[in-house]
Amino acid sequence: MLARFFAALHQRPLLYWLLILLYIIIWQGWWLVNYQPTYGRPLELWEISYVMGGFVLLLVLLTAGWTTEQARAAGANLGKSKWTGILITLTTLLFIFLAGEWYLRLFNITTDGYGLTAMNYWWYQNFGLAQDNSLGYRDDEPQPDSPDLVRIAVLGDSFAMGHGINSLDDIFAQILERRLGAGYDVNLIADSGRDLDLHLPFLQQYPFQPNIVVYSYYMNDIDYLLTNTEQDPDANFTFIQDPNLHWFVTEFFLPNYIYYNILQFTSQQRAEGFVNDLTAAYENPQYWDEQQFRLNQLADWCAERNIELIVLVWPYITAIDQSQSAVTRVSQVFRVRGVPLVDMSPILREYPVRQLIVNGFDAHPSIFAHQLAADALEPVVREAIARLGN
């Protein structure tokens, strides 16, 4: 029966070619959509078997039952058909698509600065969320309380949790903990997308009260006031409305990369609009009054409990000068209160931007920038530890 089936297909080379293309699409597409094989996620045994079995079946489809005469006849038929050129084009596009898809999945599981891409989502699945402790933070398990233990909580958002940095050991909280040594536990109370309105509630809910709080502040901590307003920074990007096209762009990395990374994230106008919307929010009296109130609320909470507060302020790394008005406003709130503050702006200015960011589409701090933050924080933290001893 199989011999008759293949003999019939060999007499219809165009249909035979088309069926092979459909087989490849179904074989690869089902796996890519449903199981999302990516760098950082080990393949299960059945997946390896699925891929190898798929290759074997493809070889069978390509070679089974052919004779020299049939191959020559099929070649002659294809050479005469006007549809052959279309099939060549479709085959070329399919293999370009699959090559691009696999390259991105195997070598480009990276974040973007806005959290919009499929690669960003799978980076979190494979690296970010995969390193969470039992409390839901990207951190080691906290040490139990003891009389000699100094507990330091690092409060913040994606800048503090190491967005785009594969190893937990390379973020500034972990670097700081290693430098301080035994007797110190640096706990991360940070999550991607967490704004100022949520920092204090999550600090209050943390099961261990710290001796020192390091608050990592980034410009978009004001974003909770801008969501769904005319000044929403995310409005600078265009989202696909058609459900079928949205599904295609979301499930496959190559169209996702083209649509977001190439067509939108390289737009100088969109990037400037995003930064302008954020910085303008700090000039809005209504927004700034609310932000200032919450900043003081956090400082008051720490002061009431004799917790040493240290603030680490990050500028927009690719637009340091443009973000200075916002950095200055935030810094002034804490300086007036005598809260120790580390402004990363003058430190980061000394280095080229490409050395400071995760990748060309993500302005989050790189491993090197995290090391600079740890360098700047360490003496300030040690001074706070000395005050605790007094």
CA–CA gap between residue 388 and residue 147 (Å, rounded): 13
Q: 297 pLDDT exceeds 90?
A: yes
CA–CA gap between residue 20 and residue 59 (Å, rounded): 10
- Of the pLDDT bands very low, low, confident and very high (cuts 50, 70, 90), residue 74 is confident
Each residue's pLDDT tens digit, 106-141 = 998 999 999 999 999 999 999 999 999 999 999 999
Can you spell out the DSSP letters for 252-269? -HHHHIIIIIITTTT-HH
- Of the pLDDT bands very low, low, confident and very high (cuts 50, 70, 90), residue 58 is very high
Q: Which residues pair with 312 in a beta bridge?
A: 216, 342
Can you spell out the DSSP letters for 77-118? HHHH-TTHHHHHHHHHHHHHHHHHHHHHHHH-----SSS-SH
Amino acid identity for residue 192 in this structure: S
Over range 231-258, report the average pLDDT. Answer: 92
Give the DSSP H/E element, type plus range, for residue 358: strand 357-359
- Of the pLDDT bands very low, low, confident and very high (cuts 50, 70, 90), residue 62 is confident
Can you spell out the DSSP letters for 178-235? HHH-TTEEEEEEE-TT--HHHHHHHHHH-SS--SEEEEEEEGGGGGGGTTTSTT-GGG
Q: What is the DSSP letter of 308?
A: E
Over range 260-284, report the average pLDDT. Answer: 93
Q: 318 pLDDT exceeds 70?
A: yes
CA–CA gap between residue 94 and residue 58 (Å, rounded): 15
Amino acid identity for residue 389 in this structure: G
Mean predicted lDDT score pLDDT of the chain: 93
Say what percent of the chain tops pLDDT 90.
82
Each residue's pLDDT tens digit, 360-390 = 999 999 999 999 999 999 999 999 999 987 6
The structural domains of the chain, ordered by start, are 2-107 (no CATH), 134-389 (3.40.50.1110)
Q: 268 pLDDT exceeds 70?
A: yes
Q: 7 pLDDT exceeds 70?
A: no
- Of the pLDDT bands very low, low, confident and very high (cuts 50, 70, 90), residue 332 is very high
Say what percent of the chain tops pLDDT 70.
98
Q: What's the pTM value of the predicted model, to 2 decimals?
A: 0.90
Per-residue pLDDT at 390: 64
CA torsion through residues 6, 9, 13, 18, sign:
negative
Per-residue pLDDT at 335: 97
Question: Of 104, 142, 157, 210, which is closest to residue 364 (Cα–Cα)?
Answer: 157
Range of weakest confidence among 12-21, 240-249, 280-289: 12-21
- The Cβ of residue 14 has, within 10 Å, a number of other Cβ atoms equal to 15
Amino acid identity for residue 110 in this structure: T
